[in-house]
Amino acid sequence: MISATELLAGYRAGRLSPAEATRDALARIEELNGSLNAFCLVDAAGALAAAAESEERWRRGEPHGLLDGVPVSVKDLLLTRGWPTLRGSHTIDPDQLWDVDAPSVARLREHNAVILGKTTTPELGWKGVTDSSLTGVTRNPRDATKTSGGSSGGAAVAVATGMGTVSIGSDGGGSIRIPASFSGVFGLKPTYGLVPIYPASPFGTLSHVGPLSWTVADAALALDVLSGVDSRDWSAGPRPAASFAAAVEAPEVAGMRIAFSPTLGYATVDPEVAALVQSAVEVFAELGAVVSMADPGIADPLDAFHVLWFSGAAAATAVLSEEQRSRLDPGLREVCEQGARFSAVDYLEATATRAALGKTMGEFHERYDLLVTPTVPIPAFEAGVETPSGTGRWTGWTPFTYPFNMTQQPAATLPCGVTSAGLPVGLQVVGPRHADARVLAAGAAFERVRPWQS
């Protein structure tokens, strides 16, 4: 597989072409999508036409944009002009006017990326695995009997198998990091507001948009494209003055104060996962970082997260008829019913818990530049179920991800090894708010020593 940065270098040198890269990506989709289900929509004709236009620009020596001719994909929660955005749900009418791009999609077009299609998601992106009655089960690229994770499962599988180089996902409780960890690719949940969102997520400011990629450099390049103001998102911040791609050109972690928390003080971790993460953390020490065992001193905010998340699900489905509601994923229907029972006071109390968590993490990062943890405490489990045990909710097996949606911090997952069964394991790197460049630099430094592209 070839990364986006390698493709661009090849285009520049005349060794590779956008048409060739796009045909290769489409061939991989044709070969693998039937068994893995990464894409719910593929526009081969449109992609080839865009690639041909890009190839002509490169031939003239006039490429335009940071991703000109690079094959990418977009999660089917993000509006994409000309294509239906069904969000994995039977309740959305495909026969309507689809004439709006989400900000992230608009930026991809501005930079002349070749958009191959839309990747699969569970219904409304509500859970940490990717399956729905509309689009079926998305499977792990290392073992098709296992889950890809979710809710950006299709995006992770697309990147892991060479069905394009970069995919744009969303993350409201781990939805980029979980599938990236399970599929063995890099995934970044940026600081909230760095990448604008429209329409606003029903899950509010828990939800972030960010890249999944084969390399850290590709994610940094994508973030340069995606970040910045969009007038439709009142909560979006300005584009940073410095390039994220520049931050990973000569990454350095020597002298960084890195806290390693194996459990966050409350999680139970599979022994094989714990051993692989421990070995990965030692890389940072070998690179000159000052690594300390330190928990941030937080309690599991699961109950507060449920109030926020389940209320959002209830709001997202409030306008549905009883007939439409009967067609929802049964688990989503349960979550919506629970969310509808929460009061405004419950929501405000959960928001207060969130604010206190943010304060604690802010103070923690005055002492530590980064926090590292496992991304997910278990390897990928059986495909087609919400939890490995068959009971409870998805949040019960991913205790390391949703706290950092509540605090809006940047958090990335790096592939750090595979289990004896060959299933990928991820290392989560968390920075203080607005320290996305630092998180990316740490990831790039790790990648140079422990590359996962094999």
Phi, psi of 82 (to 5 degrees): 90, -15
Q: Which of 89, 132, 148, 175 is catalytic?
A: 175
Which of the following is catalytic: 151, 152, 261, 311?
A: 151
Per DSSP, the three-state class of 285 is helix
- Cα dihedral 207, 210, 215, 216 sign: negative
Question: What does the alpha-carbon distance between residue 246 and residue 70 come to, in Å, rounded to a whole number?
Answer: 19
Q: Which two tokens stand for residue 165?
A: 């180089």
Catalytic residue (one of 3, 54, 75, 89): 75
Cis omega before residue 151 (within 30°)?
yes
Q: Burial level of 97, CB count in 10 A (0-12/13-18/19+)?
A: exposed
Give the separation between CA 406 and CA 401, rounded to whole angstroms: 9
Indicate the burial class of 349 (C-beta count within 10 angstroms; 0-12, 13-18, 19 or more).
middle
Both tokens of residue 271?
């022994």
* Residue 75 annotated as catalytic: yes
Strand ranges of the sheet holding 424-430, from the earlier edge strand across to the other edge = 39-42, 114-119, 71-75, 166-171, 208-213, 186-189, 411-418, 424-430, 370-374, 257-260, 290-293
User: For the chain, what is the total number of helices (H) and then of strands (E)?
Assistant: 15, 13
Q: CA-CA distances (angstroms) from residue 288 to 261, 282, 291, 401, 442?
A: 18, 10, 9, 27, 12
Question: Does the active-site annotation cover 35?
Answer: no
Tell me whether residue 151 is one of the annotated catalytic residues.
yes
Query: For residue 199, is the peptide bond before it cis, meaning its omega torsion is within 30 degrees of 0?
Result: yes
3-state secondary structure (DSSP) of residue 382: strand
Q: Which residues are catalytic?
A: 75, 151, 175
